[in-house]
């Protein structure tokens, strides 16, 4: 079994520098956040005019629009949009399937997580790190500030392999934490034994905006690229240990590909239906190049 990235491997200055052009924007963030750069529903003393409201005692007299008073004879005050932070919750899969191949998918997952954290922290958003396998772990509560990045990278590097994937249960557990609404980034292979439908249903119940990062390998789509996948096989699920005996034949392969295609289509359809972001990252390819596709215009709007 291949090992995951160490801190020195993960915290690559060149990689982080290449992320500078990217930014992450929410269409509107929830109220009661910390001041930051994201558009929010909060009204107050921001720079961008948002609306007028009738004056009530206690309002700031500096906000009274005297031109309206002159025309209408009534007092209105200008209200401005408050800029708030976007809470970004990185939910990283640390089940065994993420650590199986060489290089393991977790490497790409860690790089993606670090990249998104770097982008978010760079624009004063708060970033929380959660990992899951069979249970949910809170690895780092949401915190803001660029200085958090090193600490964040350390926590990512400390993630180790756990047992099975239970994404549906994890999402339910996460909902119980009553987190402020933000962006939930699920970094996983999505190989939940419950199936793609169950995963989609669990994701649909999330209160957060969603960005799904599917970590794949080329052998997922074409098992013939796997050197050992031919002939009479006993396939062992690396997480559950369940065995499937079969003979790899063209018919078997065709059925496998069909099943895998349906799985991917289900994820994609969910992302489309629920206006969630979706990106497929090949664990064998350069992560930065693939992220470039996600940040096509330099900014990802969620």
Confirm or reject binding of residue 229 to other proteins (CB under 8 A): yes
CB proximity list for 186: less than 8 A, separation 6 or greater: 91, 93, 167, 203, 210, 211, 212, 213
Q: Is 292 in the site for other proteins (CB under 8 A)?
A: no
**Whole-number Å distance between alpha carbons of 43 and 63:** 12
Question: Which of 199, 263, 270, 294 lies at the binding interface for other proteins (CB under 8 A)?
Answer: 263
The count of residues interacting with other proteins (CB under 8 A) is 40
Tokens matching residue 139: 């690895």
Q: Which stretch of DSSP H or E encloses residue 287?
A: helix 287-294
Q: Which of residues 44-103 bind other proteins (CB under 8 A)?
A: 97, 100-101
Which residue's structure tokens are 């497929």? 280
Which range, of 76-84, 123-131, 198-206, 252-260, touches other proteins by CB under 8 A? Answer: 252-260
CB 143 within 8 A of CB 128: yes
Residue of 47, 56, 61, 251 that binds other proteins (CB under 8 A) = 251
Closer residue to other proteins (CB): 22 or 270? 270
Handedness of CA 217, 222, 225, 228 (dihedral sign): positive
The CA–CA distances, whole Å, from 231 to 55, 212, 219, 248 equal 80, 35, 16, 5
Q: Does residue number 176 form part of the binding site for other proteins (CB under 8 A)?
A: no
One residue of 55, 80, 260, 278 binding other proteins per CB under 8 A: 260
Write down the least CB distance from residue 132 to other proteins, Å. Answer: 16
| Binding residue for other proteins, selected from 158, 225, 254, 301, defined by CB under 8 A | 254
Q: Which two tokens stand for residue 146?
A: 């660029």
Is 179 one of the binding residues for other proteins (CB under 8 A)?
Answer: no
Q: Which residues bind other proteins (CB under 8 A)?
A: 97, 100-101, 105, 189, 191, 193, 195, 217, 220, 226, 228-229, 231-240, 242-247, 249-256, 259-260, 263
């Amino acid at each position: 079994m291949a090992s995951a990235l160490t801190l020195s491997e993960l915290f690559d200055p060149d990689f982080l520098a290449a992320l500078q052009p990217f930014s992450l924007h929410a269409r509107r963030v929830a109220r009661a956040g910390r001041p930051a750069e994201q558009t929010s529903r909060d009204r107050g003393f921001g720079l961008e005019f948002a609306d007028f409201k009738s004056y009530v005692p206690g309002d700031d007299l500096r906000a009274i629009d005297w031109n309206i008073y002159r025309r209408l004879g009534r007092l209105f005050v200008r209200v401005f949009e408050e800029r708030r932070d976007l809470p970004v919750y990185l939910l990283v899969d640390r089940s065994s399937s993420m650590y199986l191949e060489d290089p393991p998918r977790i490497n790409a997952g860690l790089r993606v997580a670090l990249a998104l954290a770097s982008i978010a922290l760079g624009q004063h958003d708060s970033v929380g790190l959660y990992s899951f396998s069979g249970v949910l772990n809170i690895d780092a509560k949401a915190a803001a500030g660029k200085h958090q990045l090193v600490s964040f990278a350390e926590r990512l590097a400390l993630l180790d392999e756990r047992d099975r994937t239970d994404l549906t249960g994890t999402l339910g557990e996460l909902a119980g934490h009553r987190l402020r609404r933000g962006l939930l980034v699920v970094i996983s292979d999505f190989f939940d034994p419950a199936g793609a439908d169950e995963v989609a249903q669990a994701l649909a119940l999330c209160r957060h905006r969603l960005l799904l990062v599917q970590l794949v390998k080329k052998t997922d789509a074409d098992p013939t690229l796997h050197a050992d996948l031919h002939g009479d096989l006993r396939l062992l699920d690396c997480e559950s240990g369940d065995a499937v005996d079969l003979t790899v034949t063209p018919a078997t392969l065709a059925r496998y590909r069909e099943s895998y295609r349906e799985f991917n289509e289900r994820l994609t359809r969910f992302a489309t239906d629920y206006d969630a972001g979706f990106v497929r990252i090949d664990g064998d390819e350069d992560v930065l190049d693939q992220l470039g596709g996600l940040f096509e215009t330099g900014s990802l709007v969620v």
